[in-house]
Amino acid sequence: MSKSLVIVESPAKCKTIEKYLGKDFQVLASYGHVRDLIPKEGAVDPENGFAMKYQVIDRNQRHLQEIGKAIKNADTLYLATDPDREGEAISWHVFEHLKEKKLLKDKEVRRVVFHEITKKAVTEAIAHPTELSNNLVNAQQARRALDYLVGFNLSPLLWKKIRRGLSAGRVQSPALRMIVEREMEIEAFKTREYWSHTAEASAQGLPFKAKLTHFNGEKLNQFSFTNEAQANEVRQNLLEAADGQLIVAKLEKKQRSKNPAPPFITSTLQQEAARKLGFTTKRTMMVAQQLYEGIDLGGETVGLISYMRTDSVNLAEEALADIRALIAEKYGADDVPKEPRRFKTKSKNAQEAHEAIRPTSVQRLPEQVKDRLSAEQFKLYDLIWKRTVACQMIHATLNQVAVDLNCGSDKNVFRATGSTVTNPGFMKVYLEGVDDSKEAADDQDSLLPPMEEGRPVVLNEIAATQHFTEPPPRYSEASLVKALEEHGIGRPSTYATIISTLQNREYVTIDNKRFYPTDVGRIVNKFLTEHFTKYVDYSFTANLEDDLDAVSRGEKDWIPLMNDFWRPFTQLINEKEESVQRKDVTQESIDEKCPECSSPLSIRLGRNGRFIGCTNYPTCSYTRNLGDDNAGATSAEPEVVEGRVCPKCESTLVIKTGKYGKFVGCSGYPKCKHIEPLEKPSDTGVECPQCKNGAILKRKARSGKIFYSCSEYPKCDYALWDAPIKESCPDCNWPILTLKTTKRRGTEKVCPQKECKYATPYEGDPDDANGPA
């Protein structure tokens, strides 16, 4: 008896779906995309209707062979890859490959789509199959062709004009521009001093604070008082005028409602997981994929959340009914609004009518499945569950109070504000995070004591406080994702890849969870914004996304769209090839003469970053570090490490700069090649289990990767990639365990001894357990 063959893209789904469908179905995985463009020039032919040359991806060759064997014994092929544009393309490539191999004769081919991996969703999808969408496939092909044409034409230009190994991308380049422009804003920012005055008062024995808003009849602004003398004089005048009390001049009370945030879409999940859990976008998507594909709940593998790549805030009617029932049961009928809440998608380029990210069953409480989840999986599931439930609860009701207090007369006014929560509503379950401390501070509700108009309150003190204006904050992953989404750049499902690419190309670094552009990143951005302005323009990139959406809806043909892009783009590439010289890109003239030969100096890009050098090179070899204030010196003198000498030859130790940043090296180089890190390795507090003399130190390799090794190196060569913890293995008694994080199992405490297989889930945050910073 022949079976029906079902193709999914991930092997993690196979057993679960096969179990749901029964013995008449065989389920195989494509393991993602099975074909891609040939990795060389000519893969897309603009002169022949943008014809594309595909080849099977090597790592998936055997999976396609397995699918080919299985289809011979099947009468129906169900293509059940993910319900989005990429999933449609994967199904199409599988179909095209099998058709080329002439394996689909007399076979029925159907497309099935489900948004969650539950028995009901899967069986209903199989019962109501559709056809492959040519519109979605064309949109994906157009996107892939655009990315290919940009990469294969613009990247080689970067190699010639800047250095080899660089890349430019249709979406990564505008993202880089955002980061560089923010850094330039910060560098150009001029700090200004200002002062504020706060009254520390009390009413009925309860303390509160109020801010000065009017002085001598004038409404104050941020820079009304700009120095200490002025601020202290105002403070003294106010104290004298008050004579120990303030008068309540005006008291306003009003009630306001606060509505819950909509359920998660991909971008808001990435942002909130970054804010509340400290997850990177890559980590968020990895854990969400695990929750979607299925978790073993004790004899049954179930997908815990709906599909996590979505722009839609819609919730299915059945899901809404379940959520409302749970709210009534768990929190009370009063917390259920009369009608279900409906949310409108704000995303500029929202695609396909998917659902929002939600639990597949809201009755599956986080605490009930906690023991089946890794620490990371539980945190993300808990976040998704709470957000989903809260979005269907009643609004929160807050009482707001604003009090104006006169100081001596009605010309000097302090204002106090506060609010109380009279009915928390959805806030019982969940409150959305914010991106910066100012927003967070503004959102905090303070309690004011009871006061009456015309009555005095006690003035205890007036504080004059100095402030300085601050530049805009550097982008975090959450705020960068938010900015990309607001500009309509890229798709939320691609944000993790964009961020990884920027880091892998060494265009940006991350410090304290904030993005900093590297020297190379600045140069690449400068080249692109000056010479390819149109193509890194935020609106151009967003409009191109709109056009691709129109293709996916069948409103536009993809070939004319490609022509409109390609003709001017290739013309500009050819122009810049001829007109731009490398020095125009990698050098920036400065208003300073070389102290050795009087030629102009310029900022240049070298192997180790930007520096100042003479334009008369190689005749004149004068250089100095960028930012050094020793203009006029004959050369840049290295900084000497005080109080230390080289342990090998006793020469002076100096601070040098290399490819991986600053380090300590011997001044006797090249005769002596001793080097050591600028930052001393930090002690994890764990004794080396091998020599029992040294301690395990946290070190950074030249590549930037963290590792752990014995302080007695080279006498002891014990080393680990995973963070050690001071806890012996219960199976083999090895003195230490390590924290190991994998995509499949999350974070576990693992014995580092290869022959020992001990592993147990770790409940803490792995980011907090990797030894001291």
The residues annotated as belonging to the active site are: 307
- Give the H/E segment covering residue 411: strand 409-423
Return d(Cα 508, Cα 99) in angstroms, integer.
44
Return d(Cα 247, Cα 454) in angstroms, integer.
6
Residues 349 and 311 sit within 8 Å (Cβ to Cβ): yes
Contacts of residue 629, Cβ cutoff 8 Å, sequence gap at least 6: none
In the block, tokens 């993005």 appear at 515
- Give the H/E segment covering residue 440: helix 437-442
Helical axes 172-188 vs 495-504, angle rounded to 10° = 70
Nearest CA to 320 out of 300, 342, 299 is that of 342
Return d(Cα 364, Cα 359) in angstroms, integer.
8
Strand order in the sheet with 661-666: 639-645, 652-658, 661-666, 675-677
Nearest CA to 97 out of 131, 129, 68, 136 is that of 68
Nearest CA to 323 out of 417, 387, 264 is that of 387
Return d(Cα 728, Cα 721) in angstroms, integer.
18
Contacts of residue 217, Cβ cutoff 8 Å, sequence gap at least 6: 411
Please, what is the end-to-end C-alpha distance for the chain in angstroms?
62
Helical axes 266-277 vs 281-293, angle rounded to 10° = 110
- DSSP result, 86-154: HHHHHHHHHHHHHHHTT--TT-EEEE---SS-SHHHHHHHHHS-B---HHHHHHHHHHHHHHHHHHHHH
Strand extents, DSSP E, 313-408: 396-407
DSSP 8-state code for residue 735: S
3 state SS of 299: coil
Quote the tokens at residue 179.
Answer: 């980061």
Q: CA geometry: angle at 26 spanning 21 and 30, to 5°?
A: 115
- β-strands 295-296, 245-258: how paired? unpaired
